[in-house]
Amino acid sequence: MNNSRRTFLKTSALAIAGTAVLNPRIFAAGREKEALGIQLYSVRDDMTKDPMGTLKQIAAMGYKNVEHAGYENRKFYGQSAAEFKKTLADLGMKMPSGHTVMEKDHWDEGKKDFTDAWKHTVEDSAAAGQLYLISPWLDDDVRGSLDDFKRYMDVFNKCGELCKKSGMRFGYHNHDFDFTVKLAGKRLYDLMLEYANPDLVVQQIDIGNMYGVGGRALELIQQYPGRFPLMHVKDEMKSSKGENGYESTVLGKGVLKLKEIMEAGKKTGGTIYFIIEQEDYQDKTPIECAKEDYVAMKKWGY
């Protein structure tokens, strides 16, 4: 995820406090059949202009699951949690996961508690039907020193406890800096896997974001088995326009060994949700790419 996406998601950093009933699907997840979905950031401009029309097109392609990147002022793309859940249900879709940035300011160090804004985020996410609340960013000031980072991982673990009370799990979505920033000689991502309690914090592995800086999904899945219930399925092609020399492209058109990575996710990584994300489109529209990506995944048996 680049800074433009981070800006896009930072507007969606509000939410709500818990439901207290644990969702049985969370604990049955290991027995569920793998599910295919799309991150709506892939069609972000379309969702901004015409969310309902875009969702109808996505549903018509065959998608049954979506992942949001548009929560602001306690609304998902302009609708309340209950309204958006019904909108999706009417189209035959669900939203098992969603992206909302948990900011450092969402934790009140003096009170040793989350702010009402973050508690609302949790509440709304659960009410919308999410099983996973994913924070897709780490601010600079929590990755500047090992002590700062360890303290923030304690907040991550506390958020995992909070989400659990609402029948969800809390998680993180990786970026390029997770593999370029080192603290005490270790990559940030390795430190996260070390200090984030796996019982409380899951990982959504984005197999494309890491590629241009040397991160390899297959290696991570083997190194940390069972830690990745969600995967962002993304292909990358060499590009002078993209970050770190690469930009995303239609699945199967790039350089990643997608089928091998996804199979490793299923067999070793504990991956259940395979979520398509494409951020660059070359000479096609985002909607055209979403359809081609879906066809590719179905061809591969997902």
- Walk me through the domains of the chain, giving residue ranges and CATH numbers: 3-299 (3.20.20.150)
How does pLDDT run across 89-107, given as a tens digit for each residue? 999 999 999 999 999 999 9
Which of the pair, 30 or 188, is modelled with greater confidence?
Answer: 188
Instruction: With residue 82 as reference, give the H or E element that holds it.
Output: helix 81-90
Q: How far is CA 197 from CA 135, 136, 157, 172, 266, in A?
A: 15, 17, 6, 12, 21
Contacts of 195 (CB under 8 A, 6+ apart): 149, 150, 153
What would the mean pLDDT of 109-133 be, rounded to a whole number? Answer: 98
Rounded distance between C-alpha atoms, residue 251 and residue 27, angstroms: 31
Pull the structure tokens for residue 55.
Answer: 């969702």
- What's the mean pLDDT when you consider all of the chain? 92
Question: What confidence score (pLDDT) does residue 24 get?
Answer: 39
Pairwise CA distance, residues 3 & 5, whole Å: 5
Report the candidate in 277, 292, 222, 291 with the shortest Cα–Cα distance to residue 1: 277
Pairing, β 230-233 against β 273-276: parallel
DSSP line for 133-162: EEE----GGGSSSHHHHHHHHHHHHHHHHH
**Is the model's pLDDT at 262 over the cut of 80?**
yes
- Cβ atoms of 171 and 138 within 8 Å: the answer is no
Summarised one tens digit per residue, pLDDT across range 32-86 is 689 999 999 999 999 999 999 999 999 999 999 999 999 999 999 999 999 999 9
Contacts of 97 (CB under 8 A, 6+ apart): 37, 67, 130, 131, 132, 133, 134, 171, 204, 230, 273, 275
Backbone phi and psi for residue 256, each to the nearest 5 degrees, phi listed first? -75, 145
